[in-house]
Structure 1
Amino acid sequence: MIKLQWLTAVSFIFLLPACSKNEKMKEQVVAFAGFQQPSGFPAPAYKLANNRVTKYGFELGRKLFYEPRLSRNNTISCGSCHLQTSAFTHHGHDISHGIDDRLGSRNTPPIMNLAWNPTFMWDGGVFDLDLQPVAPITNFVEMDETVANVLVKLRNTPPYPALFKKAFGASDITTADMMKALSQFMVMLVSDQSKYDSVMRKQGVGFTTEEQQGYEIFQQKCNSCHREPLFTDHSFRNNGIMPGPNNDEGRYPVTLNPADKYKFKVPSLRNLAYTAPYMHDGRFYTLQGVLTHYNSEVTETPTLDPLLKTNGRPGISLSAEEQQKLLTFLNTLNDRSFIKDQRLSQETQ
């Protein structure tokens, strides 16, 4: 994801008030064109050139992210299930809770570093961030609304017409502009300020002995799927979890390829201290439970990932000492500044 160089209010005082509408829009782009790629991160997958983040676009996207009018009965917003204090996931809930307290079938994934994601959702059923919000808005369990109704509500709710005009140059509120505004907010949810990042950037801090040993264990036994620096390779894999009561077949209903049965997206390992419970159905409430699964509870099925078999035995061999050191390293991936960043928080008025 690209990181914004935030400007002070003084920067905007000197924008010429006599500029035409097009010149003002151009001025916004110029003012916010100073994006900074996080050191060590790959190029983003999101096409930022097609939807440049501007001050007004970002602020509109943030307001929409926390707007309950996106749901049928005006009670559920994106921020209802993606809590900043939990790295934008639904901490403590094994599966999602939506409108009218309806229960979903999967754990709410955290929202961070989305600019690098080529697909979205646990099954990769959405391939464009600008389309992703349509899924929760229209989902019966989540928001149970139609995009058309959302647009009507926004058009009749001040100050949205004025905010859309500031962001996109026209007061008419369209689906495309609403989605672009949400994307401008979501691509700015960059988590890259953990201790691990500071160590990798040689910013005067180093790993402790146990953290370094845990890092070496991670590189040997985990890095094949959870690749640095995003700690995911964005692939879909069967990690040997027994199917739950609803027999969620993962990516298979999306591709209809039998080889994709029970495969789910490899999640990032960043911010694990804030995002429990874990796995696509939230079955593990502790990281120790996750490591125990990989060490001794992996179930062999036809689509089990080959990397989870060692000498014909399912699982990843991890001694108790190795598990403890690995947990110590994983704690270096927590980014407290991310969950405290006021720029990403709901506005209070």
Structure 2
Amino acid sequence: MIRLKYTALLLLSSAFFFSCSSEPGPLEEPDVVVEPNKPTPYQLVIPNNLPKTFTIPENNPLTVEGVELGRHLFYERKLSGDNTMSCSTCHQQQLAFTDGKAVSFGIARRPTKRGAMSLANMLWFNRFNWDGEANSLEQQALIPLESELEMHQSLSDGVKKLQETGLYPPMFQKAFGSSTITEENVLKALGQFQRTLISGNSRYDQYLENKINLTPDEMEGMALFMTHPEPAQNLRGGNCGDCHGGTLLTTRTFHNNGLDVELKDNGLGAITGRATDNGKFKAPSLRNIALTAPYMHDGRFETLEQVLDHYNELHLFNNPNLDPLIMEASNMTNGRTLKLTEEEKQKIIKFLHTLTDESFITDPRFSDPFKQ
């Protein structure tokens, strides 16, 4: 009995010795596939009266995280050379993303040569700026960021500033899968946010959806706005729809509208190099037009009345590039000017006021996230 207990004790001791002195074997871990957090697709809601066809770049789909990042960057002053300006400085929501100035100002109050265009409904555009300089929102965003007259800072320097913050690396991680911020992803995020700036809930839209009635003057103004005059048929018109037609209130084309005989700004011609394009500028959307004064690329007209007077009295037929759509428009047979009456002009202006979208200029999705 004593020998058996002693033998058992030796066996236990040997087992203990070998288990403590031998190298442990590798631990077998289960195969775990870690899925990176994928950004959430952004559900873009298109108002009933706006076109359902548009193009979003395949390499920059809209995501919830990307749009929110772009919103922050849109209001971020670190993207300017002296940390005093953001995109929103020249594109203010309450002014339909314009700034109320004849020409915009960059850092140190440097004047630019043109006014800020509205950013409403850029989703449907493929040429940007007054002269069509950019072919995408991503490309367009780079221009004011690096312009010495605007935000005056290389994007690479802006990226360095963003990388040093506690805010942005996690946001870029969520939006693009990397906390390392790149110039490309800054521009992509800005493009995503701007594609969501959709305006389609004006009184005009509500009328088109049979939700409200316009006043008789507004209705007559709308008819005049949309009509090309044909005096031989006794058809009076304001000729506005030729360049600002459709529910976007723009044909998205470029025109010389007779502002100058001697050009100070060649507009599209400076981009294409074609003399026939000199003095042509993009016909902007007239949505929210009552909020976006002053008017024209150089802000020369302070009121809508002045704009109507310009087109009504225009007779610069010695301008070689004057748009034929303007040149041939008159409410009198062989007339050399448009010849609207004062009453007709006022009715057109009343219609233009129906294009204001109050929900667009107060939508919290487009507002400054740093002020909430």
Structure 1 residue aligned with 2:255: 237
Structure 2 residue aligned with 1:279: 296
Matches within 5 A, 1:61-140: 61-91=70-100, 93-140=101-148
Query: Secondary structure at the residue paired with 1:288?
Result: helix
1:200 aligns with 2:218: no
Instruction: Give 1:129 shift.
Output: 1.1
Instruction: Give 1:219 shift.
Output: 1.1
Verify the 8 A CA contact 1:241 1:298 in the aligned structure 2. Answer: no
How many percent identity over aligned positions?
A: 40
Verify the 8 A CA contact 2:202 2:356 in the aligned structure 1. Answer: yes
Structure 1 residue aligned with 2:236: none
Assess, with a 3 A threshold, how the Cα gap between structure 1 residues 164 and 299 changes in structure 2: closer, same or farther. same
1:325 aligns with 2:347: yes
Assess, with a 3 A threshold, how the Cα gap between structure 1 residues 234 and 172 changes in structure 2: closer, same or farther. same
Match of 2:217 among 210, 213, 217: 210
Matches within 5 A, 1:180-329: 180-202=188-210, 204-220=211-227, 221-242=239-260, 247-300=264-317, 301-310=319-328, 313-329=335-351
Instruction: Give 1:68 shift.
Output: 0.8
Structure 2 residue aligned with 1:25: 38
* Aligned amino acid, residue 25 of structure 1: K
Assess, with a 3 A threshold, how the Cα gap between structure 1 residues 109 and 207 changes in structure 2: closer, same or farther. same
* Aligned amino acid, residue 212 of structure 1: M
Tell me how far apart the structure 1 counterparts of residues 165 and 326 of structure 2 sit (CA, whole Å).
Answer: 52
Tell me how far apart the structure 2 counterparts of residues 20 and 86 of structure 1 sit (CA, whole Å).
Answer: 46
Verify the 8 A CA contact 2:77 2:85 in the aligned structure 1. Answer: yes
Match of 1:159 among 167, 172, 176: 167
Instruction: Give 1:303 shift.
Output: 0.4
Verify the 8 A CA contact 1:237 1:264 in the aligned structure 2. Answer: yes
Structure 1 gap segments, 5+ residues each: 1-17
C-alpha RMSD of the superposition: 1.8
Structure 1 residue aligned with 2:5: none
Structure 2 residue aligned with 1:6: none
Instruction: Give 1:159 shift.
Output: 1.1
TM value normalised by structure 2: 0.83
Query: Secondary structure at the residue paired with 2:70?
Result: helix
Tell me how far apart the structure 1 counterparts of residues 261 and 92 of structure 2 sit (CA, whole Å).
Answer: 27
Tell me how far apart the structure 2 counterparts of residues 298 and 138 of structure 1 sit (CA, whole Å).
Answer: 40
Tell me how far apart the structure 2 counterparts of residues 263 and 155 of structure 1 sit (CA, whole Å).
Answer: 41
Deviations 1:255-274 (A, max 9, x none): 00010010000011110121
Deviations 1:214-255 (A, max 9, x none): 1110111211110120111111100010268x8111111100
Tell me how far apart the structure 2 counterparts of residues 133 and 140 of structure 1 sit (CA, whole Å).
Answer: 14
Tell me how far apart the structure 2 counterparts of residues 271 and 197 of structure 1 sit (CA, whole Å).
Answer: 12
Instruction: Give 1:196 shift.
Output: 0.6
Match of 1:172 among 177, 180, 183: 180
